[in-house]
Structure 1
Amino acid sequence: MTHADAPSVTILLLCHKDERFIRASLEAAFAQTVPCEIIVSNDCSGDRTFDIAQEMVAQYHGHHRVSVRRNERNLGVAEHVNATVPLASGEIIVMMAGDDIAYPHRVAATLDAFARNPRVTILGSDFDGIDEEGRAHPLRFRPRPDPFGLDAFVQAGRLIGLLGATIAFRREVFDRFGPILGPIEDNALSLRGALLGQCLQLQDKLIQYRQHAGSVSAGVFARNESQDVAMRRRYERTIRFYRGTADDLEQCATQLPDLAGEGRRHVDDILAMYRIEADSREALLERPRLHWVRPILRGLMQRGARRKSAERALKLFVPRRWIGLRA
Structure 2
Amino acid sequence: MLLLCYRDAAYIRAALAGAFAQTVPCEIIVSNDSSDDGTYEIAREVVAAYRGIHDVSVRRTPRNLGVAAHFNDAMALARGEIVVMMAGDDIAYPERVATILRAFEEAPEAMVLGSDFDCIDADGARIDIRFRRRPERYQIDYYVRIGRLIGLLGATLAFRREVYDRFGPLLGPIEDNALSLRGALLGQSLCLRQPLLQYRRHPGSVSGCVFARDEAPEVAVRRRYERTVRFYRGTADDLEHCMGQMPELRGRALRDARNVLAMYRIEADAREAILREKRRHWLGPVLRGLLQPGLRRKSAERALKLLMPRRWFGLHHA
TM-score, L = length of structure 1: 0.96
Distance in 2 between residues matched to 1:99 and 1:308, nearest whole Å: 33
Match of 1:274 among 249, 264, 268: 264
How far apart are residue 158 of structure 1 and its match?
2.2
Q: Deviations over 1:193-239 (max 9, x none)?
A: 01110111111000000011111111112122111111111111111
Q: How many residues align?
A: 317
Residue identity opposite 2:60 in structure 1: R
Stretches of 4+ aligned residues off by more than 2 angstroms: none
**Which residue does 2:252 correspond to in 1?**
262
Stretch moving more, 21-30 or 219-228: 219-228
**Which residue does 2:111 correspond to in 1?**
121
Residue identity opposite 2:62 in structure 1: E
Distance in 2 between residues matched to 1:46 and 1:225, nearest whole Å: 22
**Which residue does 2:35 correspond to in 1?**
45
Q: What is the 5 A alignment of 1:15-26?
A: 15-26=5-16
Residue identity opposite 1:185 in structure 2: E
Q: What is the 5 A alignment of 1:1-327?
A: 11-327=1-317
Q: Secondary structure at the match of 1:73?
A: coil
Q: Secondary structure at the match of 2:112?
A: strand
How far apart are residue 162 of structure 1 and its match?
0.4
Q: Deviations over 1:40-73 (max 9, x none)?
A: 0000001111011101111111110000000000
Stretch moving more, 189-198 or 220-229: 220-229
How far apart are residue 160 of structure 1 and its match?
2.0
Residue identity opposite 1:309 in structure 2: S
Distance in 2 between residues matched to 1:159 and 1:186, nearest whole Å: 11
Distance in 1 between residues matched to 2:283 and 2:185, nearest whole Å: 32
TM-score, L = length of structure 2: 0.98
Residue identity opposite 1:134 in structure 2: G
Q: Is the 8 Å Cα contact of residues 240 and 261 (structure 2) preserved in structure 1? A: yes
Q: Secondary structure at the match of 2:137?
A: coil
How far apart are residue 324 of structure 1 and its match?
1.1
Q: Is the 8 Å Cα contact of residues 171 and 238 (structure 2) preserved in structure 1? A: yes
Q: Deviations over 1:279-312 (max 9, x none)?
A: 0111111100000111101111111111111000
Q: Is the 8 Å Cα contact of residues 136 and 193 (structure 2) preserved in structure 1? A: no
Q: Secondary structure at the match of 1:87?
A: coil
Residue identity opposite 1:49 in structure 2: T
Residue identity opposite 1:143 in structure 2: R
Q: Secondary structure at the match of 1:317?
A: coil
Residue identity opposite 2:197 in structure 1: I
Q: Secondary structure at the match of 1:160?
A: coil
How far apart are residue 118 of structure 1 and its match?
1.1
Q: Secondary structure at the match of 1:155?
A: helix
Residue identity opposite 1:323 in structure 2: F
Q: CA RMSD in A?
A: 0.8
Identity %: 66
Q: Is the 8 Å Cα contact of residues 114 and 153 (structure 2) preserved in structure 1? A: yes
Distance in 2 between residues matched to 1:76 and 1:247, nearest whole Å: 17
Distance in 2 between residues matched to 1:53 and 1:273, nearest whole Å: 41
> Which consecutive residues of structure 1, in runs of 5 or more, have no partner in the other structure?
1-10
